[in-house]
Every structure is written in C-alpha cells, then in structure tokens.
Structure 1
Amino acid sequence: MPADTPPRRARKPPPPGLDLTNQSPGPLPVSDTGSLRDGNVSLNMQGLRISSDDSSASGVGQDDKQYIVMQREDMDVLRPLGEGTSGVVQLVRHKPTDQLMALKIIPLGIAERERKQILQELRVLHRALVHGERADASVDSDAGGVASCGGEGGTREQQRVPSIISFFGAFYADGAIHIALEYMECGSLHDALRRRGAIDERVLKGIATQVLRGLHALQQLKIVHRDVKPANVLLNSVGDVKLADLGMCGELANSFSRLRSWVGTAAYMSPERISGADYSFNSDVWSLGISLWECATGRYPFGSADLTFWELLHDIVEGDALGDPLPNTPSLSVFLVQALRRDPSERPDASALLHHEWVRDRTPPPGTLQAWVKEVVGAAPSAGIDLFE
C-alpha cells in the first residue's frame, strides 16, 4: 500500500437492533370479506377504521368517530406524480369535495417491514387527524378563539395540526392500500436544494419555524418522527411547509419514555440513534439541524457520497465536520450549535427551539416563503412528488 494512502477504518459490529437482512413478505392479513386487518387497523373498500387500543377493530362503536369513509369510486385519477420501491403516487380529484389529493397506492406484496411502516403511517396520520379535530372543537367552543397558525397562507383545514401533511382517508382495494394525502404541489426541500443550492437565511427561518411546529405537534402526541430530512419536508405554492412520510414514527408511552429501535435514514440520525442508544423527541431536532446545515451551505456536512456506514457513524458521533459553518449568520450558527449538541441531555427539544432568538427575531415578512417557492419551482407546479423517500 502506498505510504500516502490512509488506512481504512476498522469495521465495527452493527448497533443493537440493526437488522441488515432482507425480510420477505409474511402472510397477508386479509379477511374473507375483503378487509385488511392488523392490530387496531382495519381497511376495506369503504374506508379506514382504527380502534382506540390494540384490540380487534371490529369493536369500535359508531360514536367513536374512528371510521373514515373513502372509496375508489370517489377518485378521478388525473396523472402520476411519482413512484418508489413500494408503490406509486397519483394526483386525483376527490369528486365529493372537488379537492386535489395525492393518492399513495401500495400493493401488499411488499416486504413485511415496509408493510408495517405503511400501517404505522396510517396510525400516526389518524392520531394527528383526531387530535386536530379535537383542537378545532376546542376553538369552536370558545367564542373568541382563533385557530393556531400554520404556514404563510394555510387554510383552517390545513392548520388543524401545524406543519404535518394533511390526511383525508384510506381504503383497501385490488390488493393495495390507498392513502389520500394533501397535495403539496411544489415538491420537497430536497428538490429545491437540487435546483438552487444554498438557501437564504430568511427563507430557512420560515422553513425551520414550520418544521419545529410540526415536531412540537408530534411531541404533544408522544410521537418521534425518526426520519426528518429535506426529502421529507414538502412545500406548496402558498408558503406552507409540511412534514411527510410518517411510516418511521415511533410512539412513546409518555413524555419521559425513550425508544431504542433503529429505523430511518442513517445520514440524518442523531449520535445516540446511529450508535444504538436510547433516544427521545430531541433526536428529531438533530435531524432538523443537519438538514438546515445542508440547506444553508448547499452541501451535506459529513463527507462524500461513497462514505461507508462505519465512517459515517464515526463522523456523526466523534467527528469535527460541523465546527462553525455559518460565520456570516451568527444567530443561525448559535441555533445550529444547540440543535447539534451530541449529548442529547444538552440538546433542546422543538418546543424550546421555537423560543430561540433566531426563530423569534427578524421574522421574515409575509410572502417571503411563497415568493421563494415560486422562484425555485417556476410558475408551473412540480411535475412529480416522491412520498416514499
């Protein structure tokens, strides 16, 4: 070996709970009547039913408001939006409401792990919907109440759960799960980065504020997103920013519990997650911090694309690549220093960061995000959207 060739780092055993083997599909949990059932989730051609616990979904009463009616006959398919390894996304028009939606279609012949992620996404989306409806009812009961803020131009429907992609319903038909979601026509933050490179600080502040609201809302539901990254932050033309892809979410018993399972995108994992230790809500804050660092500089902080997993683990847990990346934006730099603290006991959660000086001061004027999105994507909506990344 030449003298100037650095030695490769020694391989380490995988973190606890990391399964590097492929999983084949298990038996499909479909009843004789054509209903897909898994735990407290029941899907059929008429819609989705979720019980309040993990018992059989058949016991849910009519007054539980856990049943969402939606069926294929309600949809006019307009055009494909994107595809992934586990399914496709179509732009549809919901005929009863004349509303555009993004319809995810996932065949059941996928790996068991992916199927569980889809069912978990349904559970989380449903919890967010029910939580939002209760919040709306609370506002409606207060004569002076005002709905909580969403993006720059969000409707009341979109403001139910701040900065979480809206869920309209789901059904099972022709061997596939169909999930109807809010259509975010301007693609993802990852798409914007590819088109324009580094993002202006004023725009970043608006994006960060909305993502923090989404993480705070998930924390109120005792949910950790576990896959915050630019590809899972979606944009629309009125300046709304929404977290998507909730299939990786983990649920905590209470605000002081911790998780240990290893799922999500390694490149944006917090040190405690990628090393296999226990983690909680502020692991999502690290992922947001890395995403903002990437957006502010136009590049991912930890090395090149050919970095091995073990080199990535070393850089995240022990490396010095972050430093002080933004000397010309000191307030943002202080924010990132706090969000990227390696010790999770010293890292604030989303609620605390919503009160950070960088978020609260010099708020971008109304329309900043909307103007930036239109400049990035042009007058025409995005031709595609990937809700499977």
Structure 2
Amino acid sequence: MNTVHFFFFFFFDTFFRNFYLNKNQKNYYNGNAINCTLNDTNKKYSFLNNDHLYMHDAEEKVNTSIHRRSYSASNNKKDVIRPESFNFIKVIGVGSYGKVLLVRHIKQNKLYAMKILRKENIISMNQLEHTRIERNVLKCVSHPFIVKMYYAFQTSKKLYFILEYCPGGELFFHLSKIRFVNEKSAKFYMCEIILALQYLHELNIIYRDLKPENVLIDEQGHIKLTDFGLSKEGVTESNSAKSLCGTPEYLAPEIVHQTGHGKAVDWWSLGIMLYEMLTGNLPFNGKSRSDLFEKIKHKKVVYPCSFSPVVVDLLKKLFEKNPKKRLGYGIKDAEEIKSHAFFKNVNWDDVLNKKVKPPFKPNLFNKIDLQNFDKEFLCLSLRSSDRHDSNPTGFDSNTINTIKDFNYNF
C-alpha cells in the first residue's frame, strides 16, 4: 500500500510527492485535497493523500489485460477465506483508500500482510480498475523479488488482499534514517530490482511506480516489489500506454509529454531511484508541478563529484530524454542495462537465487517485531469492523455488492 510520509509534502507553494489526476472525472474527491490549475496544461489536478497522479486516456480503457482463466471457487474445495480466518495484530500501513495490517492465519499459524480497501472509497474515487489490475498482476506473477499474493476476497463493504509479509518494512523507511547508501549497497538493490522489472517486462507488464516506498525488505534483507495498482498489462512496441500516471518526481519525460510510453519508463525510474539512494535527494524538483515537469522534460542532471565515473555514465544513459535512445529500450531491455560496466562482475544467477549477501539484514527479535515500520501507523488502533465486517460474501458470487472476478485462492 502507498504510504504518506509528512516530510515529503508541503502546502500551496510546493506539493505532495505524489498525486492523482483523472481526466474523465470532473469532480475531485477527498476532503483534504488541494485543487489547483497548472498554467501550461490548463487542466485541474487534485492533490490527494493517495500519493499518485493518474490521468486516463480513452484508449487505455480498452481491455489489454493478460488473458488467463479466472479462478473459480465453485469447483475448488479450498477453505473459504474471510476476515474471521485471521487474528489481527497491528496496523503497519495507511493510505487514502485503506490500510495494511499484520495478521496471523488462525489455522495455518502463519503471518501475512492484509491490505484492506473500502469499496465505497475505491468506487467513488474511480479506483476500481486499478484494484482489478493489481489483483490480476499479482495473480499472474511468481518471482523471488515480487511480493506474493495468497488470497483475495471480499465482504459487502471491503476488498482484502492477503499478501506475503516482509518484516523488514519499506526500503524508504531505512533510507529515511540513514539518508543514503554507498555504491556497493545501491548496486545490490539495483540488481534485484532489475531482475524483477525484467520479469514483468517479459510478461509485457510495465510497473510504472518504482520508488523506495514500494520496495519491501524481507527477513533476509532481499527486496520485494509491491503495489501494482498503476501497472499496465499488454504493453508492446506496437501497443504503448497513454495514461499520465505515477509518482511525479519519478515520471519519465514521455509520460509527461503524453506521447505514449512503454517499458523504458521503468528504466528512467530506476535511474531516479539510484540517484536518490546515492544522494538522499531527487534529481528533479520544482516549486510547482509545472516547474517540476519542465525540468523533467528539459533539465540536465547535475552529478555530485563523489559519484564514480561509471555511475555517472549509467545515470546519463538512464536519464536519456528520448526513450528510444535510453539504456534498456527495445528488445534487449534489461540485458542492455545488466551489461553496463556498473554491473561488471555481477553473477546474475547468484542474484536471482539470493546467493548474494544483502548489505542489511533486519535485526528481528521475534516474528512480530515491528521496529521496521513507522510508529505513526503502529500506534493506530485496530477497528473491530475490520475483524467482523457485516454480510461477508467470501466466495459467494450471488451477493449484490460482490465485485466480479476479484476473489482468489492460491
């Protein structure tokens, strides 16, 4: 789930780190939203606590999802999963549409992360399609560096994702404490992220939301990508995406231009993240959203003298404004990046098999040690309504409020 961190946003003069825009919907939701108009686009943007920008293009509403047979509970004898199947332990994340809890499956005695979304919020803020996309992507993927979904179910009021629990929390949480890492540590995280993105790209999925907040750390210190609500399925060279979406500071120029974009946007974001990990700062900032976008489109990045020449060379190639000239564009995709001198002597098979020692391993006193999560969330109380939601639908497709093809049992 996307989390909101107070030191990344300011009011009026500057802006949230992330935001969300829907071109098709004229009304903007959320009582805490700040609406403003950008002079260069003359379009209304809504700054929401949800952390994202998203503007639909009509073409992108065409069904381009991965065609796989939907799970059917009617011919499967697996146990029906519902909120009462779990003991609720603690709130570990909060966003505009819901929250994430640490839970324990009662029968299995196993810990999971439970992502809870209120249907009324999802529908009123036009997020249902993104929720479906996240569910579809998580259902179809299986990779060491991507968070695993075990169940998806619903009640009359809420949607539930039961996900792999990563006790190391967000990479963002750790970077906020130490500010930046050295090149060796950054290389470790980059390697695992590259393999995850390469896997997605091979499935013709673009991620579109790479940032430290969406990189989780497991108990051994390895990464897991999470939050696939902004992902796009079915992207090929002949079928590009058109939506203006993502975290603004991480947007590639072609997304800002809205000229169509493909897999290369993920490699631009990889460069942003590498720069941020090495400096503690973002390469592109602005006093306003339009100012930020102008810099993304035209500004050349200034590199600290502490950067090694090989890092500068890699970043320059990832920050190529023209996506067709960007490192990783085209058929070679990740292989072109993996062959760069920065990754010299990397054994990619060892990386994939988790044989490379992480620079950081969470120091956990027990299985429910929550020291790697923001205290702002941990102090929130558990609501009884989350445990005992009314009119549970489970896998009952006859309930009027049931969202079709959402339920899933691994």
TM normalised by structure 2 equals 0.67
| SS of equivalent residue, structure 1 residue 13 | coil
Q: Are residue 260 (structure 1) and residue 242 (structure 2) matched? A: yes
Q: For residue 41 of structure 2, what is the aligned residue in structure 1?
A: 13
Q: For residue 135 of structure 2, what is the aligned residue in structure 1?
A: 122
> Counterparts of 1:302 and 1:362 in 2: how far apart (Å)?
29
Q: Which amino acid aligns with 2:39?
A: R
Q: Which amino acid aligns with 1:358?
A: F
Q: 1:253 to 1:190 in 2, by over 3 A?
A: closer
| SS of equivalent residue, structure 2 residue 244 | coil
Q: 1:282 aligns with which of 259, 264, 268?
A: 264
* Alignment of structure 1 residues 208-227 onto 2, 5 Å: 208-227=190-209
Q: 1:114 to 1:73 in 2, by over 3 A?
A: same
Question: Deviations along 1:309-328, whole A, 9 cap, x unmatched?
Answer: 110011101012x1334554
Q: Identity, % of aligned pairs?
A: 25
Q: For the Cα contact (< 8 Å) 1:84–1:386, is it kept in 2?
A: no
* Alignment of structure 1 residues 23-42 onto 2, 5 Å: none
Q: For residue 355 of structure 1, what is the aligned residue in structure 2?
A: 339
Q: Are residue 345 (structure 1) and residue 356 (structure 2) matched? A: no
Task: State the shift of 1:215 in Å.
Answer: 0.6
Q: 1:274 to 1:325 in 2, by over 3 A?
A: farther
Q: Which amino acid aligns with 1:323?
A: V
Question: Deviations along 1:106-130, whole A, 9 cap, x unmatched?
Answer: 01111342232222110111111xx
Q: 1:51 to 1:311 in 2, by over 3 A?
A: closer
Q: 1:162 to 1:247 in 2, by over 3 A?
A: same
* Alignment of structure 1 residues 360-379 onto 2, 5 Å: 360-361=344-345, 366-371=356-361, 374=363
Question: Deviations along 1:128-149, whole A, 9 cap, x unmatched?
Answer: 1xxx3xxxxxxxxxxxxxxxxx
| SS of equivalent residue, structure 1 residue 258 | coil
List gaps (5 residues or longer) in structure 1.
1-9, 24-38, 42-49, 133-160
Task: State the shift of 1:333 in Å.
Answer: 1.9
Q: How many residues align?
A: 309
Q: For the Cα contact (< 8 Å) 1:163–1:243, is it kept in 2?
A: yes
Task: State the shift of 1:342 in Å.
Answer: 1.0
Q: For the Cα contact (< 8 Å) 1:229–1:291, is it kept in 2?
A: yes
* Alignment of structure 1 residues 150-229 onto 2, 5 Å: 161-229=143-211
* Alignment of structure 1 residues 71-110 onto 2, 5 Å: 71-110=82-121
Q: For residue 28 of structure 1, what is the aligned residue in structure 2?
A: none
Q: Which amino acid aligns with 1:173?
A: T
| SS of equivalent residue, structure 1 residue 335 | helix
Task: State the shift of 1:59 in Å.
Answer: 8.1
Question: Deviations along 1:274-332, whole A, 9 cap, x unmatched?
Answer: 1211110010110111111011011112236xx21110011101012x13345542222
> Counterparts of 2:267 and 2:191 in 1: how far apart (Å)?
12
Q: Which amino acid aligns with 1:315?
A: K
Relative contact order (alpha carbons < 8 A, sep ≥ 6): 1 or 2 greater? 2
> Counterparts of 2:102 and 2:145 in 1: how far apart (Å)?
21
Q: For the Cα contact (< 8 Å) 2:242–2:258, is it kept in 1?
A: yes
> Counterparts of 2:375 and 2:117 in 1: how far apart (Å)?
15
Q: Which amino acid aligns with 2:338?
A: L
Q: 1:386 to 1:359 in 2, by over 3 A?
A: farther
Q: Which amino acid aligns with 2:105?
A: H
Q: For residue 68 of structure 2, what is the aligned residue in structure 1?
A: 52
Task: State the shift of 1:12 in Å.
Answer: 0.7
Q: For the Cα contact (< 8 Å) 1:212–1:351, is it kept in 2?
A: no
> Counterparts of 2:89 and 2:274 in 1: how far apart (Å)?
34
Q: For residue 3 of structure 1, what is the aligned residue in structure 2?
A: none
Q: Which amino acid aligns with 1:382?
A: N
> Counterparts of 1:103 and 1:194 in 2: how far apart (Å)?
24
Q: 1:366 to 1:13 in 2, by over 3 A?
A: closer
Question: Deviations along 1:330-363, whole A, 9 cap, x unmatched?
Answer: 2222221221111100111333212322124367
Q: Which amino acid aligns with 2:102?
A: L
Q: For the Cα contact (< 8 Å) 2:64–2:233, is it kept in 1?
A: no
Q: 1:60 to 1:368 in 2, by over 3 A?
A: closer
> Counterparts of 2:264 and 2:73 in 1: how far apart (Å)?
34
| SS of equivalent residue, structure 2 residue 68 | coil
| SS of equivalent residue, structure 2 residue 282 | coil
TM normalised by structure 1 equals 0.71
Task: State the shift of 1:11 in Å.
Answer: 2.5
Q: 1:40 to 1:230 in 2, by over 3 A?
A: closer
Question: Deviations along 1:72-124, whole A, 9 cap, x unmatched?
Answer: 23212111112111101110112343221110110111134223222211011
Q: 1:380 to 1:244 in 2, by over 3 A?
A: closer
| SS of equivalent residue, structure 1 residue 113 | coil
Q: For residue 406 of structure 2, what is the aligned residue in structure 1?
A: none
> Counterparts of 1:239 and 1:40 in 2: how far apart (Å)?
35
> Counterparts of 2:152 and 2:132 in 1: how far apart (Å)?
11
> Counterparts of 2:227 and 2:118 in 1: how far apart (Å)?
17
Q: 1:239 to 1:58 in 2, by over 3 A?
A: closer
Q: Which amino acid aligns with 2:108?
A: T
Q: For residue 309 of structure 2, what is the aligned residue in structure 1?
A: 330
Q: For the Cα contact (< 8 Å) 2:147–2:163, is it kept in 1?
A: yes
Q: Which amino acid aligns with 1:369?
A: P
> Counterparts of 1:71 and 1:60 in 2: how far apart (Å)?
14
List gaps (5 residues or longer) in structure 2.
1-37, 49-62, 378-410
